[in-house]
Amino acid sequence: MISRRRLTQAMTAAAATGAAGVTGSGQASARTDTAPTGRTARGLGPVRHTRTDVLDIAYHDVGPAHGTPVILLHGWPFSPVGSYAEVAPALARRGYRCYIPYLRGHGETRFLREDTFRSGEQAALGADLIAFMDALRLPRALFAGYDWGGRAGDVAAALWPERCTGVVSVNGYLIQNLAVAQEPLPPAIEEGTWYFFYFLTERGRKGLQCNREDLARVVWHRNSPQWQFTEAEFAQAAELWSNPDYVDVVIHSYRHRLAAAPGDPRYADLERRLLALPKITVPAVTLDGQADGVIPPTDGSGYAAHFSGPWKHHVVPRAGHNLPQERPDAFTAAILEVDAMG
């Protein structure tokens, strides 16, 4: 049986699995240039675009224009459309304004310059989130996500608490402890993160390049073993993986988190700050899927010390790693709960 402390180390160091326009001081800057495109998504409306200093970010927005802003963040290798097709409309009916961006390397999101480092590191994802808010002129928002998206929200909430009204994070505190990235974890945890090690190799890079759909299907089945997804849901997500930067960003993300690749110098100051594992001071709700194939569910006590503000933890039955898509009711309820804490 894995000890609670050891499991916590696993979740912090190599957990479930930001950015745009960051200066040397770690401040994110951006410019606004929003416009809808002709593409639409079920329940989420047209794809829109906004530009930061680094990215052209594709996103959806749902809900009343002056509603309480919530940013819904997807994981890998999943789709923001699938993950939030039910969550966003449910929140919109309650008066929330939901913003659902496509992370760097996914969907229609593009780097503005060919010579920009295709980083997937945690600081880049968190900074992308803040720059996205700057571009849309959102002073503050509630962050909610899982996997890569949960990490982006945790990073942004920890480093820019003044921009965050609350955070919902699947699998708890997801800021990576790179200082112990080379320390072994319990075999039961290492088994679930097999692709981390696969991507360290050139064979893994080629495998992702050539077999991205087959590889993603394996991850979906293993990470969410009770989820009965449809072929239509999988096909919709697969559209995101044709992004020209997908392979570079994904490979860098997994190599960087295991201290096997350098980071983008643009985010070096942010990464230094993250080495201290900063506390999340804003209201927070953490969720574990009872059927998560990557991170086994816990009572949350192992990472409770990382949340110094109001905090609640729940284990969600019949949910795996892609919790918002598998249990949209529970994820929506968590957002309502954390908003009420403020």
Prediction pTM value: 0.91
Quick one: tokens of 303?
A: 């990472």
Residue 7: pLDDT band by 50, 70, 90 thresholds? very low
Nearest residue to 73 via CA among 103, 93, 30 = 103
Quick one: tokens of 323?
A: 């919790």
Helix pair 202-210, 246-257: axis angle to 10 deg: 150
- What's the pLDDT score for residue 3? 40
- What's the pLDDT score for residue 88? 98
Instruction: Report the distance separating Cα 128 and Cα 58, nearest Å.
Output: 12
- What's the pLDDT score for residue 12? 43
Instruction: Report the distance separating Cα 333 and Cα 342, nearest Å.
Output: 15
Instruction: Report the distance separating Cα 131 and Cα 129, nearest Å.
Output: 5
Question: CA angle, corner 246, sides to 245 and 252, nearest 5?
Answer: 90
Query: Which residue has tokens 């590889």?
Result: 215
Mean pLDDT of 35-61: 87
Name which residue leads in pLDDT, 189 or 2.
189
Instruction: Report the distance separating Cα 224 and Cα 128, nearest Å.
Output: 27
Q: What is the pLDDT of residues 67-85, one digit of tens each?
A: 999 999 999 999 999 999 9
Question: CA angle, corner 173, sides to 170 and 177, nearest 5?
Answer: 130
Average pLDDT of every residue of the chain: 91
Instruction: Report the distance separating Cα 85 and Cα 148, nearest Å.
Output: 18
Residue 331: pLDDT band by 50, 70, 90 thresholds? very high
Query: What 3-state DSSP class applies to 52?
Result: strand
CATH class of this structure's domain 4-341: alpha beta
Domain spans of the chain, in order of start = 4-341
Question: In this model, does residue 98 exceed pLDDT 60?
Answer: yes
Query: What 3-state DSSP class applies to 230?
Result: coil
For 259-272, b/e burial (b = at least 16 CB within 10 A) is ebbebbebbebbbe
Helix pair 212-223, 202-210: axis angle to 10 deg: 100
Quick one: tokens of 81?
A: 């459309």
Residue 17: pLDDT band by 50, 70, 90 thresholds? very low
Question: In this model, does residue 27 exceed pLDDT 90?
Answer: no
Query: What 3-state DSSP class applies to 189?
Result: helix
Write down the H helix ranges in the chain: 4-14, 80-84, 87-92, 122-135, 147-159, 187-192, 194-198, 202-210, 212-223, 231-238, 246-257, 268-274, 323-326, 328-341
Instruction: Report the distance separating Cα 4 and Cα 301, nearest Å.
Output: 8
Query: What 3-state DSSP class applies to 47?
Result: strand
Question: CA angle, corner 82, sides to 79 and 84, nearest 5?
Answer: 100
Q: For residue 327, which amino acid is it?
A: R
Contacts of 26 (CB under 8 A, 6+ apart): 127, 159, 269, 270, 273
- What's the pLDDT score for residue 232? 96
- What's the pLDDT score for residue 33? 54
Question: In this model, does residue 31 exceed pLDDT 90?
Answer: no
For 294-305, b/e burial (b = at least 16 CB within 10 A) is bbbbbebebbee
Q: What is the pLDDT of residues 216-229, one digit of tens each?
A: 999 999 999 999 99
Peptide bond into 77 cis (omega under 30): yes
